[in-house]
Structure 1
Amino acid sequence: MAPSQIHDAPIPPAPNKQSESRFASLPIPPVDEPFTLNAEFLSDTYPQKVNLGIGVYRTESGDPWPLPVVEEAETQLHRSKNVARHEYLTIQGDGKFLNLARDLVFGFDSGIEPNGTHQQNGDHNKDKENKDRIVSIQTISGTGANRLGAEFLARSLHPRNVWIPEPTWANHLTIWDLVGVERKPYPYFDPATKAFNYDSTVQTLKTQAQKGDVVILHACAHNPTGADPSKEQWTKLASIFQQKGLIPFFDLAYQGFASGSLDEDAFAIRHFMNCTPRIEFCVAQSFSKNFGLYGQRAGALHLVTNPAESESSLPQIALANLSHLVRGEYSMAPRGGSEIVRTVLSSPDLRKKWGEDLKNMSGRIKAMRQALYDELLKLGTPGKWEHILAQIGMFSYTGLTEPQVLAIRQRHHVYMLKSGRISMSGLNPKNVSYVARAIDDVVRTVTLARKQ
């Protein structure tokens, strides 16, 4: 056959069978419950429906609340007409933003308190020494900081295990699964007391954790339980980390939002920073909650190192490695949210207004805790409910079981996670009584069924 005839010959048909995609064996990942629950809530047409699932701040009318100080900062940025406002950041990020973010976490004397005054630490030499230990890099909010920190530790230190509180923010599990470090739970929450399980946590870390293991810690307002260690317990935990050679990884998503105090909410991190012998650790910092910048994705990762005198270049080498990971992942962080945070934190006037916004948000959360507790007591709802007041921050672990949660959703259209976690900001003066009656109804039904 001539060469031209070979090329012109028809291609014989493939065997008569359905082709298989190369992706046919993909596993089905677990669904993200909060977002799935939110979609179910939005499709519900019941007029009295209540959303206690999504972890975002809401006003008393149930609406989003752009912080007034953020709106003012946005106006200032718009009026400045900076021609470079859409340019790339460096791979490390906005240097001024990073310094302000670092000082906010660690309480250095260059910080400004919410009342607009400069913090006087008094030990400038120690501050300078501590600052030199810290490597900071801008991230895509707290999730990006957790992911970058996990990737960096997995590649550089090769920890055998990462100890994750049970329960925890679900994304901790996903992030550490993706970097290939074996995940192990430690019993953070005591269902009987509905509080932090200090004894079991200590026992687990002392007897099972190995030198070089990473331990995830919620710096304040533990998600999902709202149960935090006391200052005394934090101090004792730091000693255990020193003795065992463990690597703390703090997730700081609620500084100032939890208690209304920047200092109170950063106590654990600052204590670990000033421990002797020194502890090396990570802090994933988010500005989603305390600035209301959920969609702007402003955050930072801070790596606290302990270089010897002969290792003065260690922080720069660590930054180079982090930057290398960022470059291959997303090149650099977005600048819109970080510019807002930088504008607020660098202005005494705006800083003071931000402090007022924080007190507004944290104060409303506390008021809703009190209101729900009062309503349950007024109804005589079976069980003890003091934990609602003892817990802190956006979330509360109610103690409701999964069947009770599903019953409340079906009967009363009140949406919460299957674990019984509720977002306190979803409560308001118009619905808190309704929610309390819904809880009372289901709890009484279970209590009566047990007695029969």
Structure 2
Amino acid sequence: MNRPDSSLDEKGVSQNGDPGGHLTPLTHTHTAAATPEPTLLSALKKDAEVKKVFLAGKEYYSEEGKTFELRLVGKIKQQLSTDPTLRPEYPSSLGLEEFTRRATEVALGKSSRAILENRVLGVQTPGFTAAVRLGAELLKHWYNVNAAWCGTVYLSSPCDDSLASIFQAAGIQDIREYYYWDDKQRCICLEKIVEDLERAPEKSVVVLSASAHYPTGADPSPNQWSAITQLIKRRRLFPFFLLPAQAFCSGDLERDAWPVQYCTSQGLELLCAQSFSHCFGLYGEAVGHLLCVLKHNSLLLSVHLQADKLVQSLWAQPSAGGAHVVATVLSNSAHIAEWQGEVQRIVERCLLIRAILREKLRLLGTPGRWDHLTQQGGLFSCTGLNGQQVEFLLNSRHMYLLSSGCLNVSAINGGNVDYIAQSIHLALTTSL
């Protein structure tokens, strides 16, 4: 049988470039779309402009423009490195027990009824993305036991670009969006959130940011959370919370996790993907956690076994280093106080940056209202700039931010805030 793929030229090379006419396994691999942050970072490195500004990163940047290590974390690392009781050994597949216990407590509260009734499972993961992936895998296996779930997942618009592909990698293809951020009003639109979720099929999974929503920095108020939770409960939807930077929004662990705690108090089952990389400055150590809150204790063993089986096929064991640091801090009240003090100073700096940028835009007479800058929280802010204005900033002012107009507030400092404010002003006045 003649096949076009195997035809050879006079040198014995196939038309597809393979000597001998044999296809390699990767011949027909599709080129994936480039993710925004690495693409922008690559362009930044090639940019020779002295005033260039990178506002698309996910890390916390200090006033000097460098990623920041907390002093307490540095001390704990040093102490652990000389601790003779710590032996180099593989942790359990579900992670360090002390870490999962403390991570569960900071998300749900020590007095949580779900913890007291022993219907909570915590799994340490190698980072936030891994926690989301494990949650997606559990959902697929969990619901497919009785084939009751069609696999619909709702993501906020906008959201982290990688979220959809994480669920798709777990075999969940029905990914939809619910309206979240109103570009014109520059705020959350509860009415449209409710409208979209009212149409969601029963048992749909709704992915929710508990605090410091990425990339907008805008979070629902307690009253809005109450309305969303009651809708989820009434429509029999399943909440999947994201908590990637707990305490980085308000400076308080419990306050940032309140939506998760409220949802649990309403008797709902849920998943919550956590990360401690941001709030502990452990960017290179990928410390994540997946929290599973069940309705009944009788389900705990089966979910535990399923999680263990999935972990064995995904990464076998998480790394122990960063988890030891987090567990050491969260198990000592004095350490917690010192850590929260450092985090609070970070939060206060970000709030000050927001206020300064807003005031500079006001003094420049920049068109529009900018109060939303100080109404948002955490590291990120959705400015309200459109695609054309973002492109102007990139090409004419060497400012790198996400195409949605969202940026990392902590990357703004005393050395670049005037330039950034002037650039935003030009982007709006030039495009008028």
Relative to the length of structure 1, the TM-score reads 0.88
Deviations 1:378-429 (A, max 9, x none): 1001111111111111111111111211111111111111111110011001
Give the aligned residue type for 1:293: L
Which one is further off, 154-163 or 24-33?
154-163
Give the aligned partner of residue 242 of structure 1.
Answer: 233
> Of the candidates 163, 167, 173, which is equivalent to residue 172 of structure 1?
163
Provide the C-alpha distance between the structure 1 equivalents of 2:329 and 2:95, rounded to a whole number of angstroms: 17
Is residue 105 of structure 1 aligned with residue 94 of structure 2?
Answer: no
| 1:196 maps onto 2:183 in alignment | no
Shift of 1:127: 6.2
How far apart are 1:80 and its partner, in Å? 1.1
Q: Which residue of 132, 156, 159 maps to 2:142? A: 156
Q: Which has the larger radius of gyration?
A: 1
Residue 313 of structure 1: how far off its partner (Å): 3.5
Where in structure 2 are there 5+ consecutive unaligned residues? 1-9
Indicate whether 1:227 and 2:218 are aligned: yes
**Do the aligned residues in 2 keep the contact of 1:221 with 1:228 (CA within 8 Å)?**
yes
* 1:93 matches 2:95: yes
- Whether 1:43 and 2:50 are equivalent positions in the alignment is no
CA contact (8 A) 2:243 2:272 kept: yes
- Is residue 35 of structure 2 the alignment partner of residue 32 of structure 1? yes
Counterpart check, 1:332 vs 2:321: no
Match among 263, 267, 284 for residue 272 of structure 1: 263
Task: Report what 2:357 is aligned to.
Answer: 372
Whole-angstrom distance in 2 between the partners of 1:83 and 1:226: 39
Which residue does the alignment assign to 2:287?
298
Q: Give the secondary-structure state (helix, strand or coil) at the position aligned to 2:220.
A: coil
Question: 1: distance between equivalents of 2:95 and 2:265?
Answer: 26
SS of corresponding position for 2:82? helix
- Cα distance in 2 between the residues matched to 1:16 and 1:377: 66
Contact 2:379–2:410 (CA under 8 A) maintained in structure 1 = yes
> SS state of the match for residue 165, structure 1?
strand
CA distance in 2: counterparts of 1:170 and 1:17, whole angstroms: 38
Summarize the Cα distance change of 1:245–1:413 in structure 2 as closer, same or farther, 3 Å threshold.
same
Q: What amino acid sits opposite 1:368 in the alignment? A: I
CA distance in 2, matches of 1:193, 1:64: 33
* Structure 1: distance between partners of 2:99 and 2:187: 36
Q: Give the deviation of 1:40 after TM superposition.
A: 1.4
Moved over 6 A (4+): none
The offset of 1:253, in angstroms, is 0.8
Q: Find the partner of 1:17 among 14, 17, 22.
A: 14
2:6 maps to which residue?
A: none
Q: Distance in 2 between matches of 1:442 and 1:129?
A: 55
* Structure 1 residue 195, shift from structure 2 partner: 1.1
- The alpha-carbon deviation at position 17 of structure 1 amounts to 3.4
Question: Equivalent residue for 2:71?
Answer: 68
**Shift of residue 225, structure 1, vs aligned partner:** 0.8
Q: Which amino acid is 1:197 matched to?
A: C
In the aligned structure 1, how far is the partner of 2:31 from the partner of 2:374?
Answer: 39
Q: What CA distance in whole angstroms lies between the structure 2 residues aligned with 1:73 and 1:128?
A: 28
CA distance in 1, matches of 2:104, 2:359: 40
Task: Give the deviation of 1:56 after TM superposition.
Answer: 0.7
Equivalents in 1 of 2:351, 2:158: separation in Å? 23
1:136/1:319 contact within 8 Å kept: no
2:367 alignment partner, SS class:
coil
Q: Is the 8 A contact 1:252 1:286 kept in 2?
A: yes
Structure 1's 128 and 412: CA in aligned 2 closer, same or farther, altered over 3 A? Answer: closer
| SS of residue paired to 1:289 | helix
Deviation at 1:27, TM superposition (A): 1.0
CA positional deviation for 1:289: 1.0
d(CA) in 2 for partners of 1:83 and 1:77?
8
Task: In structure 1, give the amino acid aligned to 2:238.
Answer: I
Q: SS at the partner of 1:157? A: helix
Separation in structure 2 between the aligned mates of residue 22 and residue 73 of structure 1, nearest angstrom: 47
On the 8 A contact 1:222/1:228 being kept in 2, the answer is: yes
Residues 50 and 414 in structure 1, CA contact (< 8 A), matched pair in contact too: yes
Question: Do the aligned partners of residues 443 and 35 (structure 1) sit closer, same or farther apart at CA in structure 2, a change above 3 Å counting?
Answer: same
Q: Deviations over 1:17-52 (max 9, x none)?
A: 343433222111110111111121122221111110
Post-superposition offset of 1:79: 2.2
The aligned counterpart of 2:379 is 394
Matched-pair contact (CA < 8 Å) for 2:40–2:400: yes
Name the residue aligned to 1:141: 127
1:433 paired residue among 374, 393, 418? 418
Aligned twin of 1:3: none
Q: 1:255 to 1:17 in 2, by over 3 A?
A: closer
Shift of 1:356: 0.8
| Residue 14 (structure 1) shift | 9.2
Deviation at 1:238, TM superposition (A): 1.0
- Corresponding letter in the other structure for 2:64: S
Q: Using a 3 Å threshold, how does the CA distance of structure 1 residues 81 and 204 change in structure 2: closer, same or farther?
A: same
How much is the aligned-residue C-alpha RMSD, in angstroms?
Answer: 1.5
For residues 207-258 of structure 1, give each alpha carbon's deviation from its aligned partner in whole angstroms, at most 9, with x where no partner exists: x211111000001011011111110011111111111111000000121111
Could you state the TM-score of these two structures normalised by the residue count of structure 2? Answer: 0.92
Structure 2: distance between partners of 1:262 and 1:96: 18
- Please report how far the alpha carbon of residue 179 of structure 1 lies from its aligned counterpart in structure 2 after TM superposition: 2.0
Of the structure 1 ranges 282-291 and 409-418, higher mean CA displacement relative to structure 2 is found in: 409-418
Q: In structure 1, what is the Cα distance between the partners aligned to 2:249 and 2:51?
A: 28
Letter of the structure 2 residue corresponding to residue 366 of structure 1: L
Q: How many residues were matched structurally?
A: 411
Kept after mapping to 1: 8 A contact 2:114/2:120: no
